[in-house]
Structure 1
Amino acid sequence: MKFADLGLSDELLRAVSEAGYDEPTPIQAGAIPSVLMMRDMIGIAQTGTGKTASFVLPMIDILAHGRARALMPRSLILEPTRELAAQVAENFEKYGKYHKLSMALLIGGVQMGDQVKALERGVDVLIATPGRLMDLFERGKILLTGCNLLVIDEADRMLDMGFIPDIENICTKLPANRQTLLFSATMPPPIKKLADKFLSNPKTIEVARPASTNENIAQFLVKTSERGKRETLRRLIEDERIATAIIFCNRKTTVRELAKSLQRHRYRAGEIHGDMDQSSRIAELDRFKTGDINILVASDVAARGLDIKGVSHVFNFDAPWHPDDYVHRIGRTGRAGAKGRAFTLATPSDDEAIDNIQKLTGSKIEVLGRSEPEGGGAAPAEEERAPRGKRKDERKRAPKRDEAKAKPARDEGRKTAPKPRDDQDGPDDGWNGPMPGFLSVGFGS
C-alpha cells in the first residue's frame, strides 16, 4: 500500500514524499482512512510505529476546510510532556507546509501573554499539556466550544502522570458531537474506562499486542551487583562497540552521577532529566543528534515519543519500576524497521521488577550471565570506592547473624514496587527556556 491509496490530498502527498516516505506503517494504513471518515478511534501501537503521523496527516486535510476564530481552536491535541508536544508541532510543520494552517503550543514555562496573543488570532491546531490548558481555560483566555476534533496522545503516560482527571474535565468542555482519537501503547483498565466514557462507537486499530516489544530489538538481561553496575555497563559499552546509545536511570540524581562517571572515563556522554530547563534539554538532544556526544544518560522523561534516528543500543542501568516503562525505553532503538539491542542490568533486588516486565510482555528476556570480574563482584571504580579508614579487623568483627536477620526485612520491603522519591521524574510540562524556531505560531506559505 502507498500513501496515495489512503485518500490524502495532493498537497499532503507532496509533503510526505519530500519528507522521504512512500509507504505507510501499519498504524498509519489503518488509522488514516478512519480519521478521514470522521470516526472516533482507538489506536493501540507500540512506540516507533509512526503513530504521530497517523493522526497528524488526516488532521491537516480535515482542517484545510474552515476558518479559525479568536480564542476558539478548531482542534486540540493533548500531550503528557513538553517534549512530545514539541515533536508533534514539528510533524505539523513538516507535513503542513503546503497548507495555510495556524498552530499554537500551550505548555508551562512560556510567557502566558504570548500564548494568549496566539489564541486571539485564532488557531486551527492547538497542541497542549493538560495543566497549562486548564490554567488558561480557568482564566477565561480560551473557549473550547468550537473544538470539533480531540486527540488524546500517549494516554497510558497520561495515566502514569496523574492527568486523567484533567482530561476528563477537558472533555466535558468540548462539544458532545466532536471526533475523538485516543492513542496508547497499552490499554490498562482506567484508559479503557476513559475511552468508554468519551468516545462514541470507536474503531479500534491494534498493530501489536498491548505491551509487546519490537521484534527487531534483541533483548538481554545482565546479572550484576549494585557495586559493580558501573563497571558492568562500561564493559558492555566496550564489548558492543556502540554507535549511539541511550542509558536509562530511575532517578535524576543517578542520571547526573552516571553521566559524570562516564565522562571521567572519557566517554562522550551527556544527560537529560526533568531538573534541566528546556533550553538545556534541547541543546543536549541536538548534541546527541549531531554526534557531538554518542551516549545520552536519561531519566524516563526521554522514554516516550522522542524519535531519534540511528540509536543502536539502549541500556537500562536501573530496571524500571513500572513494567510499561520497559517497553517505551527499549523502543528508542529498533525504529522504522532497523535492528536494535537492549540490555538491562539486574541486581538481586530487581527480581520482582524483571518478573513483572516478563509477565507484561509475555516473553522471557535472555540472560547473558554475570558480567563482572571473578571473585564475587566487580571492584568499585575509583569514584565509587568505600571510604578509607575503616579498619580491617572491624570488618571482620561485623556480626554475620545480624546481616542474616536484616536480609528478610529488606526482601519483605521489596514485595511492593518502590515509590518514586523527590528526585524521580514526575509530571513535567514546564518550558523554562527560549522558544525554538520551529514552534512559532503558523506554518505553510
Structure 2
Amino acid sequence: MTSFTDLKLDPKVLKAIDAAGYTTPTPIQLGAIPPALEGRDVLGIAQTGTGKTAGFTLPMITMLSKGRARARMPRSLVLAPTRELAAQVAENFDTYAKGSRLTKALLIGGVSFKEQDQLIDRGVDVLIATPGRLIDHFERGKLLLTGVQIMVVDEADRMLDMGFIPDIERIFEMTPFTRQTLFFSATMAPEIERITNKFLSNPERIEVARQNSTSEAIEQILIEHTPRRRDMAAKDKREILRAVIERDGSALRNAIIFCNRKTEVDVVAKSLRKHGYDAEPIHGDLDQSQRTRTLDGFRDGTLRFLVASDVAARGLDIPNVSHVFNFDVPSHAEDYVHRIGRTGRAGKTGIAYTLSTPSDAKYLEAIQHLVGTEIPRGESPWIAPAPKAERDQIEEDAPKRASSRSRSRKKDKPEAAAEPVQDAQDAQADVATTEASVAAPRDNRRDRDSRGEEDRGSRRGGRSRQDNGPKVVGLGDHVPGFIEMSFEERRAEG
C-alpha cells in the first residue's frame, strides 16, 4: 500500500502530515499529487469528502518551498466558491505548512479591506480567495496576478451554480499563460468542460469515483409525507424532523439540516430551539463573524444541530457528522450528492434522511436518475393527529346549512322587496297630500286631511275613516287622521 512517504513530498510536509495523524493517501491524493509535483496541469474529479483539498495543498507547499514572495504579487492562487470553503483551505494550509516559512492571505467578504491590503503589501506565497473579493482588490489596484505560478480552482461545479464562471474566466486571463493549473470538481457539466479545454494544457485527468455517485458508507432514507393541507407541509415536516431526532436518540451525535431557502433555515432553527434543541442557522445573509462562530461551535461539539442553506453543502470538512437531513428536497440534483456527503467521511458511516412531499416528485425523480438508484423508503415516526369528530360533523353539515340559508333568503326576497315599493307609494301620496294642504285655505285643510287619510286607508287595508267609528274629541282642530280612529273599536276587532 502506498504511503505519503512514497509521493516525494517535502520532508517538512511529511512531518506535518504525520503530526496530523494521516498515513495513507486517498485515491484522489494518490492520483493528483505525483503529476502536480511534475508541474503538469491536473483535472481531478471526485465526490465530496475524498480529500481533494490536501490533494492540491500538499504539492503546492512542496513546490513553493523554494523562492520568495514579493509585495502585491502572490506566488500561488486558490479560488473557492464560498467564504467557508476558502477559510477551510486556509486551515489546511496552516496544518500542512508547519515548519515552513510560507505565508498566506485570505481574501473573503465580510472582512475589512484594510487588513487584507496590509497582508498583500507584505507579500504572500499563497493567496486564497473567493472570486468576487479577489476582483475587488484587483480593480482597486492593490493586487497583481502576474507572478502566479500555480493556480487552483476548487469546487468548480459549485462555481458554475453560483454564477462565478465569467469571473473565473476573467481571473484566468489575469494570470500568466505559463502558470500550472489544478482544477477540481465533483461533477463535470458541459460549461466546466469548456473551461478546462480552454485554460488547461494537456491535463492529467484523475477520476476516482463515478460522477455524481454517493458514498456506500452513507445510509440513505427517504421519508415521504402527504400533508393534511398544502399550507401545513412545512409544519408537518418540522414535526417529523423532531420525531426522527427523538427516535434515533444517542446515535444522533450531531446533524446538518439543509433547507432550500434562507428564510426556511431561520424558521427551522428557531423551531428546534423552541422545543429545547441546540440549533443555530448558517446562510449567506449572516455576518461572517457569526458564521465563523457557528461553524466553530459545530466542529468542536458545543453545537449539536447546524441548520444550513447550500452554502454549507460543498467542500466543508466537518468531521464526525453522524446525520444529515434534507428538510427540503434540493431543486438541483447535484446538491443532493454534496449535502449527504457531509456525513460518512474519513471511513466513518453516516445516515442521510430526506423529507419529501408530493410536490417534490420531479426533484426526487431527477436525484434518483442522477445517482442511478432508488432511495430506500423509511417509516415516519410521526403520525398526524386525527381531526376531532365534532369538526368532521361541522364540516359535513356546513354545506347543508349554507344551502338552506340560501334557499330561505331566495324565498323571502320577493316579500322583502315588496315593502319598500309600497312604502314609496305611501310616501309619494303623503307628499302630494301635504303639498295640497299647504296650498289650500286654512278652513278646508281638515276635510282634505280626512280625505287623504281615507285614501291611505283604502290603499292599506280597504278600510276608510267612516268604518272606524266616532272621532276622538278634545285634541283640537288639527288632529292627525290616525289618532281620530276609535281605539275601542280597534281593540274589539283585535
Q: Normalised by the size of structure 1, how large is the TM-score?
A: 0.84
Residue aligning to 1:184: 185
Residue aligning to 1:360: 370
Change (3 A) 1:280 1:394: farther
Say whether 1:318 aligns with 2:328: yes
Q: What does the per-residue CA deviation read over 1:263-283, in whole Å, with 9 as the maximum and x for residues that have no partner?
A: 222122222122211111122
Residue aligning to 2:148: 147
Whether the 8 Å contact between 1:223 and 1:371 is mirrored in structure 2 is no
1:293 Cα shift? Answer: 2.5
- Whichever structure has more helix as a proportion of its residues is 2
Aligned residue identity for 1:319: V
What pairs with 1:269-348 in structure 2 (closer than 5 Å)? 269-348=279-358
Whether the 8 Å contact between 2:343 and 2:351 is mirrored in structure 1 is yes
Residue aligning to 1:212: 213
Cα distance between partner residues in 2 of 1:157 and 1:395: 55
Cα distance between partner residues in 2 of 1:392 and 1:250: 38
Tell me the secondary structure at the aligned position of residue 346 of structure 2: helix
Q: Give the stretch that moved more between structures: 38-47 or 105-114.
A: 105-114
What pairs with 1:13-412 in structure 2 (closer than 5 Å)? 13-224=14-225, 225=227, 226=233, 227-241=235-249, 242-373=252-383, 377=384, 392-393=394-395, 396-397=398-399
1:236 Cα shift? Answer: 1.1
Cα distance between partner residues in 2 of 1:144 and 1:397: 74
Change (3 A) 1:396 1:245: farther
Aligned residue identity for 1:232: I
Cα distance between partner residues in 2 of 1:266 and 1:139: 48
Cα distance between partner residues in 2 of 1:38 and 1:396: 79
Identical columns (%):
60
Residue aligning to 1:429: none
Structure 1: runs of 5+ lacking an equivalent? 381-388, 399-445
Aligned residue identity for 1:240: D
Aligned residue identity for 2:59: P
Change (3 A) 1:369 1:351: farther
1:371 Cα shift? Answer: 4.5
Q: Give the stretch that moved more between structures: 50-59 or 217-226.
A: 217-226
Whether the 8 Å contact between 1:250 and 1:320 is mirrored in structure 2 is yes
Whether the 8 Å contact between 2:247 and 2:381 is mirrored in structure 1 is no
Cα distance between partner residues in 2 of 1:243 and 1:26: 28
1:111 Cα shift? Answer: 1.9
Whether the 8 Å contact between 2:86 and 2:106 is mirrored in structure 1 is yes
Q: What does the per-residue CA deviation read over 1:83-129, in whole Å, with 9 as the maximum and x for residues that have no partner?
A: 11100000111110111111111112222222222112111100011
1:9 Cα shift? Answer: 1.4
1:298 Cα shift? Answer: 1.2
Q: Give the stretch that moved more between structures: 9-18 or 117-126.
A: 117-126
Q: Give the stretch that moved more between structures: 34-43 or 218-227.
A: 218-227
1:395 Cα shift? Answer: 9.8
Change (3 A) 1:67 1:344: same
Cα distance between partner residues in 2 of 1:26 and 1:395: 68
Change (3 A) 1:347 1:379: farther
Change (3 A) 1:162 1:371: same
Change (3 A) 1:114 1:291: closer
Aligned residue identity for 1:151: V
1:318 Cα shift? Answer: 0.5
Cα distance between partner residues in 2 of 1:137 and 1:364: 47
Whether the 8 Å contact between 1:27 and 1:51 is mirrored in structure 2 is yes
Cα distance between partner residues in 2 of 1:396 and 1:272: 46
Tell me the secondary structure at the aligned position of residue 366 of structure 1: coil
Whether the 8 Å contact between 2:110 and 2:287 is mirrored in structure 1 is no
Tell me the secondary structure at the aligned position of residue 126 of structure 1: strand
Aligned residue identity for 1:126: L
1:290 Cα shift? Answer: 2.8
Aligned residue identity for 1:54: G
Tell me the secondary structure at the aligned position of residue 200 of structure 1: coil
Aligned residue identity for 2:3: K
Tell me the secondary structure at the aligned position of residue 368 of structure 1: coil
Aligned residue identity for 1:282: T
Residue aligning to 2:419: none
Cα distance between partner residues in 2 of 1:26 and 1:317: 32
Which structure has the higher relative contact order (CA within 8 Å, separation 6+)? Answer: 1
Cα distance between partner residues in 1 of 2:72 and 2:4: 34
Cα distance between partner residues in 2 of 1:47 and 1:322: 16
Residue aligning to 1:433: none
